[in-house]
């Protein structure tokens, strides 16, 4: 039964999210920030809140990115779904198998992939950035690129730890990129983590405000 679920669930998720994406009106703000990094030949780390990840599967499919995913059973389903969208998975987490996850991300970066991390995942606390993200950016000497999306039609799982959002078809979607964040060699990691959290919260507020304009 578990093997059957691992086969079916990712395909159903791919079909649904693809349908949502194809029926949505998508607007992007700040994409020039990503373009500038790539034009300069720089790799970077996408940072986004865990609750916002569902639509990013569609908007950033086949984007030559590798995303950190936990080694849990849920993580396995997510990794299989990501693969259908052309997104690589680095298996590990900030709480478990951290070394394995870091090694996988280093290897992906060397292979020319950008990275993706939900800094409050996989289990929270919600909207709290752990020191692992700025530590990784400092070690790899790559910038962090904040990103979010705002959805006009969605289901919000209010009892989940992060109020996870699932997009609905036929809505508006606004994707917004923030300013890249650099973690200097001597930077205080806790201060940088707080800076990243503020940037993501500010980006969220901006995206929601711009969604209906």
Asked if residues 176 and 47 have their Cβ atoms less than 8 Å apart, the reply is no
Q: What is the pLDDT along the chain (213 residues), one digit of tens a residue?
A: 677 778 899 999 999 999 999 999 999 999 999 999 999 999 999 999 999 999 999 999 999 999 999 888 888 999 999 999 999 999 876 555 567 788 899 999 999 999 999 999 888 899 999 889 999 999 999 999 999 999 999 999 999 999 999 999 999 999 999 999 999 999 999 999 999 999 999 999 999 999 987
In CATH terms, is domain 2-211 a member of 3.40.1130?
Answer: yes
Distance CA 59, CA 3 (A): 28
Query: Which of 59, 125, 190, 211 has the alpha carbon at shortest distance from 46?
Result: 59
State the Cα–Cα distance between residues 116 and 136, nearest whole angstrom: 12
Q: What whole-number distance in Å separates Cα of residue 24 and Cα of residue 181? A: 30
Domain ranges of the chain: 2-211
């Amino acid at each position: 039964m578990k093997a059957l679920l691992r086969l079916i669930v990712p395909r159903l998720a791919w079909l649904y999210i693809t349908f949502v994406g194809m029926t949505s009106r998508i607007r992007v703000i700040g994409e020039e920030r990503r373009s500038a990094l790539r034009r300069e030949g720089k790799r970077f780390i996408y940072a986004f809140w865990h609750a916002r990840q569902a639509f990013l599967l569609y908007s950033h499919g086949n984007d030559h990115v590798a995303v950190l995913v936990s080694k849990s059973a849920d993580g396995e389903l997510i990794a299989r779904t990501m693969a259908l969208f052309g997104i690589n998975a680095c298996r590990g987490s900030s709480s478990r198998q951290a070394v394995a996850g870091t090694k996988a991300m280093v290897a992906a970066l060397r292979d020319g992939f950008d990275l993706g991390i939900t800094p409050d995942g996989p289990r929270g606390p919600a909207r709290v950035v752990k020191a692992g993200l700025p530590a990784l950016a400092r070690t790899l000497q790559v910038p962090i690129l904040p990103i979010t999306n705002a959805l006009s039609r969605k289901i919000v799982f209010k009892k989940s730890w992060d109020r996870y959002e699932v997009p609905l078809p036929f809505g508006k979607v606004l994707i917004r990129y923030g300013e890249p964040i650099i973690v200097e060699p001597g930077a205080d990691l806790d201060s940088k983590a707080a800076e990243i959290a503020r940037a993501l919260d500010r980006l969220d507020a901006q995206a929601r405000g711009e969604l209906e304009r």
